[in-house]
């Protein structure tokens, strides 16, 4: 059990390293202080959208990625579109709309979610 936990922690760490390297080297081709650009909100929203189920979270991430690549492709192939700010908002608006219509999210989740953590009272 402990070996599995450590293995998954290492896997998550390696995934985070590759994600950061991809954002810096491939997507932005430079480092800036705000390179994440709201993607932390998307990660939290994906967990609510996926109802704490890994496959649903993965499908939600694919939906967000599709919306993000769609807005990039529209900017490239339709250069006469003047309001590119609206295209940049498209993936984030999609996440908000999906969360607004996802009604089962509030009833699911960990039982300890939202409770304050007190290190002194743990067992």
Per-residue pLDDT, 105: 56
Residue 98: C-alpha distances to residues 78, 101, 111, 112 (Å)? 26, 5, 24, 25
Residues 56 and 22 in one domain: no
User: Do the domain assignments include residue 117?
Assistant: no
Same domain, 20 and 51: no
Q: Please report whether residue 59 resides in a domain.
A: yes
Q: Are residues 47 and 97 in the same domain?
A: yes
Residues in the chain: 123
Q: Which residues contact 24 (CB under 8 A, 6 or more apart)?
A: 30, 31, 35
In this structure, the answer to whether residues 58 and 9 fall within a common structural domain is: no
Q: Which two tokens stand for residue 76?
A: 């490239």
Regarding whether 76 and 20 lie in a shared domain, the answer is: no
Residue 113 lies in a domain: no
**Whether residues 81 and 46 fall in one domain:** yes
Task: Quote the number of domains for the chain.
Answer: 2
Q: Is there a domain that residue 119 lies in? A: no
Compute the chain's Rg from CA coordinates.
18
With beta carbons less than 8 A apart as the criterion, state whether 96 and 108 touch: no
Residue 109 included in any domain: no
| Contact status, residue 59 vs residue 70, Cβ threshold 8 Å | no
> Which residue range is the domain that position 45 belongs to?
36-102
From first to last of its 123 residues, what are the pLDDT tens digits of the chain?
A: 788 889 999 999 999 899 888 888 887 778 777 777 777 788 888 888 888 888 988 998 898 889 888 888 888 888 888 887 888 888 888 888 887 887 765 566 777 777 787 777 765
Whether 78 is covered by a domain: the verdict is yes
């Amino acid at each position: 059990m402990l070996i599995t936990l450590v293995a998954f922690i290492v896997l998550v760490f390696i995934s985070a390293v590759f994600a950061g390297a991809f954002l810096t080297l491939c997507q932005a081709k430079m480092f800036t202080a705000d390179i994440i650009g709201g993607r932390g909100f998307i990660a939290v929203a994906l967990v609510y959208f996926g109802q704490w189920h890994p496959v649903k979270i993965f499908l939600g991430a694919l939906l967000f990625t599709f919306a993000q690549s769609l807005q990039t492709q529209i900017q490239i192939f339709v250069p006469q579109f003047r309001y590119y700010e609206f295209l940049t908002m498209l993936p984030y608006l999609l996440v908000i709309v999906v969360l607004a219509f996802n009604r089962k999210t509030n009833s699911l989740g960990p039982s300890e979610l939202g409770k304050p953590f007190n290190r002194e009272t743990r067992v």
